Structure 1
């Protein structure tokens, strides 16, 4: 009779799947997903899994149920979840954290993906995790206490200065990133966030700080709850008119640096998105 797999074997296979989903050849990502126990960052089981928008309760508190590519409810009333692992693996592959880099995590929840990001910037890197929800921030602080180089900030990341960062990793839907986030990027820094300029658009954008400005690469679809201070509070001056326009994004500009022109795909008071490639 075949022996039932233990939690270590199941977590190891889950980590292999996430490494494949990341499309990143760095073996550190698989090791990070294997080392960080997801159950330590979730509420006590049984758990509510979210599949295609529908909740499904696990039969018991056996942590093996968590090692699937599913959302896990953290606050069902507010719609806050521990996000889809394969999406985060793909994002991490896109931003490619390196040892010694400084990461800012906006919307850290209870800290699961914060912990994985911290493992990817070891031994000398740091992660500053912002979480606006007081209860979740308290849980993240407790969960991440054993990890060196992690700071949890309870507060609104759109209303206070971010530390200088090589990576800004945003887990809440953003209509337009605050100028302060762009200013916080070090040369070569990467900002990844779910772009939600309207209810019909849910697209991951990867922004890179280059010598001539900020490039933009549209990636995969992504659905997150709105980011307080950077979503419905902003008044768009122009929104994309078609899917082709959305996919044409190539750069983002501060309006103080360049006035929106005919290449504009979306315009907000402080920043605008362009279909024009950066020169050079």
Structure 2
């Protein structure tokens, strides 16, 4: 598309400038990922204008500004999907970093839990290409219906109106969980291919629907799982993958900075030792290097 949207730039140019902004701000090293942000029409996934957007992290509704110019959504800003719930399209540089951690490439199979209206699913679909596949889950029926429509041109994308915890992602190479949880679902770990990556936001904040989360990158190495901290974000909580006891343990380990010792996720049965940061049956955040 070369439609001129103001006196200076076409939409193609705006999307290219936007992708270059994300390359620098998010530190993207994959040319395929940068190109995906330049190709996918973000405005298609935001609903009809006028749009409400913000570049800050304030949860106050007054932090939103309103625009009808498509130029304004091609910046590193989050755009409201439901402003009263503070439900947003996501800040591109933050989500771009998480997608980059998945190490996607053409032909890979991915699972996206909490896909919203499908924008970042489309980015992932562009990177894996038609030889790859993306399964996306969205629990909100309205958002899922919109995502189905938005993604209908991608034959290799399947959208499910389901709680992602109830979806068997089948063998895949990359999983992006877009909801705060207190533990990984066993199926998410089990389905990862060798070298596959699970990006997982662990809730470490208040007991509210919107929570602070520490995002882990978990990489399968044979039957073990190396882990590293990727980021701290604010995110909606999963309706099902929340355990109050684990939540308390996560909060304690985060506040004490014990989480900085994290090197791996263990799912084998073992006794608690001084290398266990958060220890529970079937799940342990560990300081043991894999």
Q: TM-score, normalised by structure 2?
A: 0.88
Match of 2:86 among 76, 79, 96: 79
Q: 1:160 to 1:11 in 2, by over 3 A?
A: closer
Partner of 1:29: 33
Shift of 1:181: 1.0
* Mean CA deviation greater in 18-27 or 126-135: 18-27
Q: In 1, are the aligned partners of 2:263 and 2:289 still within 8 Å (CA)? A: yes
Q: Does 1:272 align with 2:277?
A: no
Q: In 2, are the aligned partners of 1:209 and 1:215 still within 8 Å (CA)? A: yes
Q: Does 1:230 align with 2:235?
A: no
SS of the residue aligned with 1:224? strand
Runs (4+) of structure 1 exceeding 6 A deviation are: none
Shift of 1:234: 4.4
Q: Does 1:40 align with 2:28?
A: no
Q: How does 1:1-280 map to 2 (within 5 A)?
A: 3-50=7-54, 51-53=56-58, 54=60, 55-59=63-67, 61-199=68-206, 202-231=213-242, 233-236=243-246, 238-239=249-250, 240=253, 242-254=255-267, 256-278=268-290
CA RMSD of aligned residues (A): 2.0
For 1:242 and 1:30, the matched residues in 2 are separated by 35
Q: In 1, are the aligned partners of 2:269 and 2:282 still within 8 Å (CA)? A: no
* Mean CA deviation greater in 99-108 or 66-75: 66-75
Q: Deviations over 1:9-61 (max 9, x none)?
A: 222100111122342332111210010011000021111113332442323x2
Q: Mind listing any 5+ residue stretches in structure 2 that lack a counterpart?
A: 1-5
Q: 1:8 to 1:160 in 2, by over 3 A?
A: closer
Q: 1:201 to 1:39 in 2, by over 3 A?
A: closer
Size of the aligned set, in residue pairs, is: 274
Q: Deviations over 1:141-184 (max 9, x none)?
A: 00000112000011111123222110001111121111111111
For 2:69 and 2:35, the matched residues in 1 are separated by 22
SS of the residue aligned with 1:221? strand
Q: 1:213 to 1:227 in 2, by over 3 A?
A: same
Q: 1:243 to 1:14 in 2, by over 3 A?
A: farther
Q: TM-score, normalised by structure 1?
A: 0.91
Q: Mind listing any 5+ residue stretches in structure 1 that lack a counterpart?
A: none
* Mean CA deviation greater in 241-250 or 175-184: 241-250
* Mean CA deviation greater in 40-49 or 69-78: 69-78
Q: In 2, are the aligned partners of 1:192 and 1:205 still within 8 Å (CA)? A: yes
* Mean CA deviation greater in 203-212 or 241-250: 241-250
For 1:97 and 1:272, the matched residues in 2 are separated by 27
> Whose helix fraction is larger, Structure 1's or Structure 2's?
2
Q: Deviations over 1:200-224 (max 9, x none)?
A: 8632210001125001111121111
Q: 1:77 to 1:258 in 2, by over 3 A?
A: farther
